Amino acid sequence: MSLAASPASETLQLKHTYSASPEQVFAAWSDPEAIGRWFGPHSHRCKVEEYDFKPGGQYRIRMIPTGEETDCGGDSAQDSVCAGEFVEILSLSRIVMSFTWIENGGDIGDTLLTIEINAAGDGTELILTHERLPDEEMRTAHQGGWEGSLECLEAYLA
């Protein structure tokens, strides 16, 4: 059975609080140079190949294994490349983008990633929601990758 024949129904949602302003957190997501410094799990470093941060703009990010034990799915000896399009951008508060793997990430089809950025006391709460994942196995693999990525963002913002 093809993935197209079965509904992609799994959703992953993670929350993380940062000791940084909403402006700093939004800038970390909107600036391609910043993305290149923190995006991806601990087991990978990142190379931004395309990042046209505007509604309708495309992005393509290559994640290169560092040799550490992987905290996400895919072949840990090969690069992984994710790509998509920015769907909606609300300055300082919300980024919505399509997300798929075009190399070594599994056949997840077109999924939807929403980043919500909210002031929280002296810091910022980020809510990451990854929708339309095809199954529980892919949801679990992406959870490990996103948790690592959000921790890398924390180190970048510190």
Give CA separation, 47 vs 64, 80, 124, in Å. 8, 10, 26
Q: Which domains does the chain have, with CATH numbers?
A: 9-157 (3.30.530.20)
Residue 79 in tokens: 């690069």
User: Which tens digit of pLDDT belongs to each residue from 22-79?
Assistant: 999 999 999 999 999 999 988 889 999 999 999 999 999 999 988 776 656 556 678 9
CA 50 from centre of chain: 15
Burial per residue of 65-79, b for 16 or more beta-carbon CB atoms within 10 angstroms, e otherwise: beeeebbbbbebeee
The model's pTM is 0.89
- Specify the length of the chain in residues: 158
Q: How far is CA 128 from the centre of its chain?
A: 8
Give the per-residue pLDDT at 106: 76
**Closest C-alpha among 120, 130, 89, 100 to residue 18:** 120
**What would the pLDDT profile of 86-117 be if each residue is shown by its tens digit?**
999 999 999 999 999 998 877 888 999 999 99
**5 pLDDT band (50/70/90 cuts)?**
very low
What pLDDT was estimated at residue 3?
39
141, 10 in Cβ contact below 8 A? no
Higher pLDDT, 54 or 141: 54
